[in-house]
Amino acid sequence: MKLSVVGISHHVAPVELRERVALPEADAAELARALGDAVCLSTCNRTEIYLSGDHEERALGSLERIAGEPLGGVAYRMHDEAAAVHLFRVAAGLDSLVPGESEILGQVRSAYEAVTPGPLLDHVFRQALSLGKRVRSETAIGESPASVPSAAAALASQVFGELDGRRVLLVGAGRIGELAAGSLAARGATISYVANRSPDAARELAHRFGGEPLAQDELASKLGEVDVVLASTSAPGLVLHAADVPARRRRPLFFIDIAVPRDVDPAVHELDGCYLYDIDDLEAVVSETLAGRRAEAARAERLVVEEATRFRAWQASLDVVPAIASLRARAEEIRAAELAKLGELPEDERRTLESVTAQILNKLLHLPTVRMKQAAMAAEGVAYADAVRHLFGLEDEKKR
Amino acid sequence: MVEVFFWPALVAYGEAAVAYASPRFTRLATWGVRIGWLAQTALLAVQAARAEGFPWTTWAGSLNLFVWLVVGAYLVWGCRPRYRLLGLAVMPVAVLMLVAAWLGGGTGAAERSDLGSVFLVLHVGLVLAAFAGFTLAAALAALYLVEERRLQRRAADILRLRLPSLVVLERVIGKTILVSLPLLTLGLVIGGVRLWQDGGGIDTLMAATILAWLVYGAFLVLRPAGRTAAHLVLLGFALVVLVRIVLAGTHS
């Protein structure tokens, strides 16, 4: 059985091409089914078809039809162990734009579950999914945030711990602010207020997060009620001044300013219990966590190598498994026939005989089975399997 | 017999102190703390069984008991993967103190004690337990100040080398003192009753202990927040250090 992968990814193809070839999950599954034994993985960063068998050209042709242009220059093809290792790295998040991103593992699972793959693809995908989980549990590759919005939320957690019940004031209704608010909400924070120059935008965003819209001149009055202030307006000057912050606070107040020019007075950071992170601070944190992810990626690569060795052993064992199965079946057939010749026996005697003969068979066949599997790992499996078939007269069964 | 438990305790604590240095070995470190603490518990049990009366009356003996209480308090409050750096602060100190206790002869079979009275056993035991709690609170307060400083400096590696959050540290410090102060209060009351019966006066160590009680009492009554709270806890701990180290041996 031959394993192949054909595809394009962010490493080789520009976004214009990737977006043309990106398929919705149902269409990707449909394409895989049309190609036979295949799994199609399609995300915003890659579209890949994993195949068992020799229909690689058809798969590439299908991608070219979807792209509307030849892909010879950008599409990659890999076979057998290289294809398996590629899938392992993809599932582990090592081939992603941001190393260690976790979404890809779910996408690999969805692609695999959307079709009914044959034994080869089934095995390699199960291995990849298990490796993806291992990488996330045994390394810290996905622990630190990899974007400014998620870093903002992680920093808030560094101050408050669990964000459940923490109240957020969102100033500005821009896209990046909305993403950061989403990250905070995902960690349990409540977006209590949304202030914006445009009342309609404030109302719409507040409605989306279940908060209350505010006029910009009401901002200062709400600072005493909230734990996190997230500012991302396009205002030309400061929106929040140090003088606006209530003086006596028993709990910390965390300011995230992702606006350029800045919205929050830098003097806020000097106030007791107040912490202010602007866009430069957040980017420095993200850059540091990405460096950490790259260090963890080296550990993840070692897990990929281990998994590749397992795949190689499994693939090699495929050469000898039929011979081992035939040998055991033949031995069992002989044992049953000889026992049948004994005719009627008392029940306890029959049971003893069956047990003893079964043990003899197992002991006799154990070593040849182990040796054949070892030989398979050393690329001599086929020769050994042929020898066993010849010595025990299993050729006829092979033909059958 | 006692060596059978002392060396495993020391080795396990040492293993934990080293393993806490790497995030990869946090689980191994936690097991080191658990196993070491169990071994030290057995050591103390053997010492108690062999002694007639309270077996930890010498400075070295009480240091041995103190280490057990500190590590016990750490096991209850802070022995979690997220508090790895707290372990890195507590366990090496525990190892050094246990070695000092061993060098001073505090981990061997105890001799006959002159603290035969139940009152005095309770007095010393409760005060030591409270001091162990205050030691842990001080380590947490130091961790709070480090984390607070990193947030103030906007340290870029703040999410790579993670400490517990400020609010969580504040909460655990408060709880530790809330548990420890009643122990100290009870220990002082028992000692006071004995002092009154014997008709003795207050010495410097007792005065410093009462001052520490006032500081921690003020912490619970005033409930300061942030850096002020951490500094107050460290001030109380400075008095504990004064009592345990500088004034050790001045009290009878």
Per-residue pLDDT of A55-71, as tens digits, reads 889 999 999 999 999 99
- Same domain for A69 and A180? no
What pLDDT does residue A164 have?
93
Q: pLDDT (tens digit, 9 = 90+) per residue, B192-207?
A: 888 787 777 788 888 9
Q: Is B157 on the interface with A (CB under 8 A)?
A: yes
Query: A52 phi and psi, to 5 degrees?
Result: -115, 120
- Same domain for A324 and A367? yes
Cα diameter, chain B: 61
Final residue in a domain of this structure, among A138, A170, A200:
A138
- Closest Cβ–Cβ partner in A154, A252, A277 for B154: A277
| Residue that is written with structure tokens 């031959």 in the block | A2
- Same domain for A171 and A275? yes
Angstrom distance (rounded) from CA A167 to CA A174: 19
pTM: 0.69
What pLDDT does residue A44 have?
86
CB atoms within 10 A of CB B140: 29
- Same domain for A165 and A96? no
- Same domain for A260 and A203? yes
Residue A374: which pLDDT band, with cuts at 50, 70 and 90? confident
**DSSP letter at A240?**
B
**Mean per-residue pLDDT for A128-145?**
88
Angstrom distance (rounded) from CA A61 to CA A40: 14
A339 within some domain = yes
What pLDDT does residue B82 have?
63
To the nearest 10 degrees (0 to 180), the angle between helices A148-160 and A175-186 is 40
Best residue of B27, B148, B159, B175 to probe chain A, by most A CBs closer than 10 Å: B159
What pLDDT does residue B231 have?
96
Residue A159: which pLDDT band, with cuts at 50, 70 and 90? very high
Angstrom distance (rounded) from CA A180 to CA A228: 11
Alpha carbon distances (Å) from A77 to A49, A60, A61, A72, A127: 10, 9, 13, 10, 20
A165 within some domain = yes
pLDDT at position A34 over 80: yes
What's A22's domain CATH number?
A: 3.30.460.30
Angstrom distance (rounded) from CA A76 to CA A87: 13
pLDDT at position A275 over 90: yes
Instruction: Determine, for residues B167 and A151 on separate chains, whether the beta-carbon distance falls below 8 Å.
Output: no
Q: pLDDT (tens digit, 9 = 90+) per residue, B124-170?
A: 888 888 988 898 899 889 999 999 999 999 999 898 878 889 998 99
Residue A368: which pLDDT band, with cuts at 50, 70 and 90? confident
- Closest Cβ–Cβ partner in B23, B154, B167 for A159: B167
Q: Of all helices (H) and strands (E), which one includes residue B198?
A: helix B166-198
- Same domain for A24 and A58? yes
Residue A146: which pLDDT band, with cuts at 50, 70 and 90? confident
Catalytic residue among A1, A34, A44, A298: A44
A300 within some domain = no
CA B140 to mean position of chain CA atoms: 12
Instruction: Determine, for residues A285 and B159 on separate chains, whether the beta-carbon distance falls below 8 Å.
Output: yes
Parent domain of A189:
148-287
Angstrom distance (rounded) from CA A251 to CA A241: 19
User: From B158, which residue of chain A is nearest by alpha-carbon distance?
Assistant: A285
Cβ neighbors of A220 (< 8 A, separation 6 or more) are: A240, A244
Angstrom distance (rounded) from CA A386 to CA B13: 59
Instruction: Determine, for residues B165 and A273 on separate chains, whether the beta-carbon distance falls below 8 Å.
Output: no
Q: Chains A, B: CB contacts under 8 A, how many?
A: 58
Q: pLDDT (tens digit, 9 = 90+) per residue, A222-267?
A: 998 999 999 998 888 899 999 999 875 678 999 999 988 899 999 9
What pLDDT does residue A137 have?
85
Angstrom distance (rounded) from CA B203 to CA B191: 12
Per the annotation, the verdict on A44 as an active-site residue is: yes
Instruction: Determine, for residues A158 and B168 on separate chains, whether the beta-carbon distance falls below 8 Å.
Output: no
- Same domain for A313 and A262? no
| Residue that is written with structure tokens 């081992």 in the block | A324
What's A264's domain CATH number?
A: 3.40.50.720
Beta-bridged to residue A278, according to DSSP, are: A257
Structure tokens at A177: 């602010």
- Same domain for A103 and A184? no
Decide if B210 contacts B236 (C-beta within 8 A).
no
User: Percent of chain B, pLDDT > 90?
Assistant: 39
pLDDT at position A396 over 60: no
User: From A284, which residue of chain B is nearest by alpha-carbon distance?
Assistant: B156
A383 within some domain = yes
Residues in chain A closer than 8 A to B164 (CB atoms): 161
- Which regions in chain B score pLDDT beneath 50? none
Angstrom distance (rounded) from CA A331 to CA B166: 70
Question: Side chain identity at A209, as an amino acid letter?
Answer: F
Task: Cis check for the bond before B8: say yes or no (omega within 30 of 0).
Answer: no
Cβ neighbors of A292 (< 8 A, separation 6 or more) are: A140, A144, B160
Does the interface predicted TM-score (ipTM) exceed 0.85? no
Residue A47: which pLDDT band, with cuts at 50, 70 and 90? very high
Decide if A385 contacts A322 (C-beta within 8 A).
yes
Q: pLDDT (tens digit, 9 = 90+) per residue, A161-206?
A: 989 999 999 998 878 888 899 999 999 999 999 998 888 888 999 9
Q: Is B114 helix (H, G, I), strand (E, B) or coil?
A: coil
Residues in chain B closer than 8 A to A151 (CB atoms): 159
DSSP state letters, B33-77: HHHHHHHHHHHHHHHHHHSSS-S--SHHHHHHHHHHHHHHHHHHH
What pLDDT does residue B111 have?
55
Angstrom distance (rounded) from CA A227 to CA A244: 15
Best residue of B148, B166, B173 to probe chain A, by most A CBs closer than 10 Å: B166
A297 within some domain = no
Decide if B2 contacts B108 (C-beta within 8 A).
yes
- Same domain for A270 and A313? no
- Closest Cβ–Cβ partner in A158, A250, A251 for B158: A158
- Same domain for A222 and A192? yes
Q: Is B153 on the interface with A (CB under 8 A)?
A: no
To the nearest 10 degrees (0 to 180), the angle between helices B26-50 and B59-77 is 140
- Same domain for A33 and A131? yes
User: Percent of chain A, pLDDT > 70?
Assistant: 97
Number of domains in chain A: 3
- Same domain for A332 and A383? yes
A301 within some domain = no
Q: How many residues does chain B have?
A: 252
